[in-house]
Structure 1
Amino acid sequence: MNKIIRNIIIVALFTVGGGWLGIWLNGVTGNTQPPMQSLGALVWLTTPALSGILLRALGGDGWKDSGFGLNLLSGWKWYLVAILVYPLAALLTFGLGTVLGIVNADGFAAQGFNAYLSVAGTMFIGSLMKNIFEEFAWRGYLTPRLEAANIRPLLNHLIVGILWWSWHLPYYYYFLDRNVLIGSITTSIPVFLAIGLLVLFPTAILFGELRLISKSVWPVFVLHNVINALSMPLLINGFIKVNGPLAAVFTPTNEGIITSILFGAAGLALYQYRMKHQSA
């Protein structure tokens, strides 16, 4: 078997199985801690990234395409994209949802914008550790190694998106506080998971293309933290409310279908830009 493909399969297996292994470990050790503070959560969170790092160090992949460099001087504009793309997509989605009467922002009026900024800042700090492991797995390893295997870009992003979604399943079913999850959505868990798969593919296009065009993991890491920090408080902390059967379409969070379509469009624009400059 081709060494690159072999190592990708190894990381994929650790990605899909790591969370379920963590749940099993919590069971056999009699864990009494909250799930997200347990040994199992640590295994779930770190397994994909650590398996990729070990294969780079010991499995022959090397570090050339790891994307660990910041590339600040040559890639500053990609950091700007990382900071702006979600707020712009969310504002457009919010505007459409408000016009149609699906979204309202009464929570901002009741709590104040400063309260939102405070919660967003806390969530930004809290997401740093989780997202560094995520991005060193998906965009630090899988995206560039699939490119090294000559996988076409959209198939590359589709594979990463499916594995990314599969990795989240133990989180949704076990590690995440179910009250937080149910409190932030208005649909059943199976439907929520199906929507998650639907929205992660265009999101993976944006994340993957930003990684490939910047040649660095760090702009995507910034983007991921910005999305988590600005998106999560909207529903969980009641700053907005979404109503009706089209709530999942027009919610301006990163789980919203329109928001994800805008992510995909931005990712395709980055892809076209990258192809044009590679040809030149």
Structure 2
Amino acid sequence: MRNVLIFLTLAFGLSWLVALPLRFGDGLASPFFGLIALLMMATPAIAALVVVFFVEKPARRAHALGLWPIGRPGRFLGYLALAIVVPVALILVALPIGALLGVYPADFVGFSGFQAVTDAQLEATGAPALPFPIGVLVALQFVNVLIGAFLNLIPAMGEELGWRGWLLPKLLPLGVLPAILLSGVIWGLWHAPLVLLGYNYPLAPGWLGVVMMCGMCILIGAVFSWLRLRSGSVWAPALAHGAFNAAAGFSIVFVAAGEVIDTTQATVLGWSGWIVPLVLVVVLALTGKFSPREAAERVEPGAAEADGSPLTRR
């Protein structure tokens, strides 16, 4: 576990260091927030690369990071498709469930909240009003999510190379489910520099935001871990992470005008949005879908000895 501690020290230390300008500056209102958030996303990958190249020095570094092998092309592409569909579906289904439970103020017909936001943005830039119904713009958001999933792949890989690429296999000796749970808690706590500033949970006190973030990261991280373990590589969870981030804005698309979303209760960030991911994770666990057995079967003999990765042990 020495290497894990080195990795965590680097990942967390660098994330807090990168976020310092926000804490001592304008916080989330900083004009550099976007850049700082992107730099922060790279810190788990930096930590993993440092450990792999300068501490562990395995014979197969790409394999130790989950970048290779990718397995059979058809299977690989199948998991990439799941990586796009499943996270987006989890984000979308959270909204009607939240509406049914009375915690998400939805407008699934008139899209009044999205209309108000769009009109305000157009007015601020001096642009003319939309020349087509708002429903057309809503439909285009689905296309944007597909494109955004691939555009987000690089920054998402900055996280996934660390969390699911390197860390998750190192925790597997604890057991698959404990490894997934622990990696999810770690992932959630890593977000603390931004969450404590109000990111994702602006209506909650900082401590509650961090607790909620850990809960969400355990469940969504379990889904990403499923993709990692069954595909045998980090590419599927990285694409899933990119799709998840690209689809996050759907909560604004379907909200009613003039309403405020409490993310501790609504959207995939809140408890009502955890219901379906929890059911999915339980089903995956009960059906043995977290087992890395199939990934191991695709690795040639001797690979386990080459880098010591638990993913390659039979």
Please classify the TM superposition score into its range, dividing by the shorter chain length: 0.7 to 0.9
**Shift in CA distance, 28/187, structure 1 to aligned 2, threshold 3 Å:** closer
* Residue number among 21, 31, 47 corresponding to 1:34 in the alignment: 31
**Shift in CA distance, 43/253, structure 1 to aligned 2, threshold 3 Å:** closer
* Residue number among 204, 218, 238 corresponding to 1:201 in the alignment: 218
Q: Which residue is equivalent to 2:121?
A: none
Greater shift, 43-52 or 202-211, is seen at 43-52
**2:203 counterpart of 1:171:** no
Q: Which residue is equivalent to 2:82?
A: 81
**Shift in CA distance, 90/270, structure 1 to aligned 2, threshold 3 Å:** farther
Question: Could you give the per-residue CA deviations for residues 201-221 of structure 1, whole angstroms, max 9, x where no partner exists?
Answer: 122222112101101111111
Q: Which residue is equivalent to 2:168?
A: 143
Offset at 1:187? 3.7
Q: Which residue is equivalent to 1:16?
A: 12
**Shift in CA distance, 130/171, structure 1 to aligned 2, threshold 3 Å:** farther
* Residue number among 229, 236, 240 corresponding to 2:246 in the alignment: 229
Task: Return the letter of the residue paired with 2:188.
Answer: W
* Residue number among 24, 40, 44 corresponding to 2:40 in the alignment: 44
Question: Could you give the per-residue CA deviations for residues 109-145 of structure 1, whole angstroms, max 9, x where no partner exists?
Answer: 2343442454562754663343120111111110122
Query: For the residues of structure 2 that align with 1:25 and 1:100, how far apart are their CA atoms?
Result: 39
Q: Which residue is equivalent to 1:155?
A: 178
Q: Which residue is equivalent to 1:219?
A: 236
Query: For the residues of structure 2 that align with 1:209 and 1:125, how far apart are their CA atoms?
Result: 20
Q: Is the 8 A contact 1:49 1:133 kept in 2?
A: yes
Query: For the residues of structure 2 that align with 1:10 and 1:135, how far apart are their CA atoms?
Result: 17
Offset at 1:188? 3.7
Offset at 1:276? 7.5
Query: For the residues of structure 2 that align with 1:43 and 1:101, how far apart are their CA atoms?
Result: 37
Query: For the residues of structure 2 that align with 1:26 and 1:114, how far apart are their CA atoms?
Result: 37
Q: Which residue is equivalent to 1:66?
A: 65
**Shift in CA distance, 240/125, structure 1 to aligned 2, threshold 3 Å:** farther
Offset at 1:44? 2.9
Greater helix share, structure number: 1
Question: Could you give the per-residue CA deviations for residues 252-280 of structure 1, whole angstroms, max 9, x where no partner exists?
Answer: 43543324424533552574463786899
Query: For the residues of structure 1 that align with 2:64 and 2:42, how far apart are their CA atoms?
Result: 20
**2:23 counterpart of 1:7:** no
Count of residue correspondences: 264
- RMSD (Å), alpha carbons: 3.9
**Shift in CA distance, 146/81, structure 1 to aligned 2, threshold 3 Å:** same
Q: Is the 8 A contact 2:200 2:263 kept in 1?
A: no
- Percent of paired sites with the same residue: 20
SS at match of 2:110: helix
**Shift in CA distance, 276/113, structure 1 to aligned 2, threshold 3 Å:** farther
Query: For the residues of structure 1 that align with 2:41 and 2:17, how far apart are their CA atoms?
Result: 11
TM-score by length of 1: 0.75
- Answer with 1 or 2: which has the greater Rg: 2
Task: Return the letter of the residue paired with 1:56.
Answer: V
Task: Return the letter of the residue paired with 2:181.
Answer: L
Structure 1: unaligned runs, 5 residues or longer: none
Task: Return the letter of the residue paired with 1:68.
Answer: L
**Shift in CA distance, 95/166, structure 1 to aligned 2, threshold 3 Å:** closer
Task: Return the letter of the residue paired with 1:146.
Answer: L
TM-score by length of 2: 0.68
